[in-house]
Amino acid sequence: MDRPLWISLCTPAPAGGADAEVLRSLSAGAEPEWVRDALAERLGPLLHRRLGAAAVPGPESLRRAFLTSVAADAYQTAWLDEILCALAAQGTAAALLKGAWLAEAVYSDPALRPRTDLDLLVAPRNLLGVHEALTSLGLGADGDPRAVGRALAAPERAGPLCSLEYREPERRFSCHVHWGLVNASAPLPHAARVPDAGALLSAAREVETPRGRRLELPPAFHLCHLVEHLTRPGHPFRPLLRVVDLPWVVHRFGNRVVEEAADLARFWGIERLFGGALAVASRLLGVPSFAGVRARARAENPGLAALRLHLAGCGSLPGRLRFLARSVVPHRDAAERCCDERRSFLAEVARRGVEGLALVLGRGA
């Protein structure tokens, strides 16, 4: 887990020595090699802002990344307004998840938290109505139509991938509609222990915003969900933007949010996963251990760390073997919902298998 020096610039409390070395590399004239790595980890906008605050002229590529994120945020915000209005017209409310929530509730400027899509959590009973609202706006559901139809008809029997992706025809915008929290192509060992989305949303606070009526879940819920999401097969602890999110959540809401999220993790039965993932995140970022969490991370590939945490949650040897098999060959219904006319089911299985093995076995941080 070699930690790049520039990563400290992305955290709320940068470390002076590393910062000085990074800033010296910027004064050399040519664009440092680490800038390309930072852009790949989707941290360009945040680095641009931090360098500007230090009165250091940053590379042009970081400025372009920030301006691109500003434009993308405006486009996504316009879509969010339309979607919330369409849902409100049918009496349905949704909660923001992941990047959309972070951009609005955690970061001082939404453009500092680039996101590739809009994530919404809805109650399973409202899924068909949400589908009708989104299609009325011109968004189409991705994937094999038969698999999409089965998910809409019986979301509780739709396999471990409990989401549908909707795109505009130009494919510039996509909206992920989730009706469950543990959303992965492999049946993760803790999935059955996490409460149903409908039950969670029934206890959520309803708020009126300029964009329409929305459900709001507490920060501790979001932190627990973000940490769990970091360990998903296929992209464990990647990109680093997702890891950087964690100290920013704590910076925004205080150490108490970690303690409350740890209590929630115990209730969900993922205490070990939560503590282990936070330990890996702390090591990757070079930040102090998160308050109230006692766990140590081995000096290993983050993908292997995620795999080790999931295997520990499987219990029996047969359960571990099933998890490993599903990590390579996903649930058929889940894979078909990720396919379209351009990619067959077998091609999707092969892509996911190769990608998952490469990340788990070969890619460090």
DSSP 74-138: HHHHHHHHHHHHHHHHTT---EE-HHHHHHHHTSSSGGGS--SSEEEE--GGGHHHHHHHHHHTT
- Angle of helix 240-253 relative to helix 256-268, nearest 10 degrees? 120
Query: In this predicted model, what pLDDT tens digit does every residue of 294-307 receive, in sequence order?
Result: 655 554 677 777 87
3-state SS of 231-299 is CCCCCCCCCHHHHHHHHHHHHHHCCHHHHHHHHHHHHHCCHHHHHHHHHHHHHHHCCCCCCCCCCCCCC
**Rounded distance between C-alpha atoms, residue 128 and residue 349, angstroms:** 28
Is the peptide bond preceding residue 302 cis, with omega within 30 degrees of 0? no
Give, for 207, the enclosing helix (H) or strand (E). strand 205-209
In this structure, are residues 112 and 69 in contact, taking their beta carbons and an 8 Å threshold? Answer: yes
pLDDT for 146 equals 84
Q: In the numeric block, which tokens belong to residue 269?
A: 């039965």
As a whole number of angstroms, the distance between CA 40 and CA 19 comes to 20
Q: Residue 20 is inside which H or E element, if any?
A: helix 16-26
Which amino acid would we find at residue 242?
R
pLDDT at position 358 is 61
The pLDDT tens digits of the residues spanning 51-93 come to 888 787 788 999 999 999 999 999 999 999 999 999 988 889 8
Q: Across-strand partners of 121?
A: 95, 178
pLDDT at 293: 67
pLDDT at 363: 47
- Report pLDDT for 46: 94
- As for how many domains the chain has, the answer is 1
Instruction: Write out the residue range of the structural domain in which residue 349 sits.
Output: 5-362
Nearest in space to 39 (alpha carbons), one of 265, 337, 239, 188:
239
pLDDT at 8: 82
**What's residue 195's pLDDT?**
84
Query: pLDDT tens digits, residue range 242-256?
Result: 999 999 999 999 999
All residue ranges of the chain with pLDDT < 50 are: 1, 299, 341, 363-365
Task: Write down the pLDDT at residue 75.
Answer: 96
Phi, psi of 233 (to 5 degrees): -60, 145
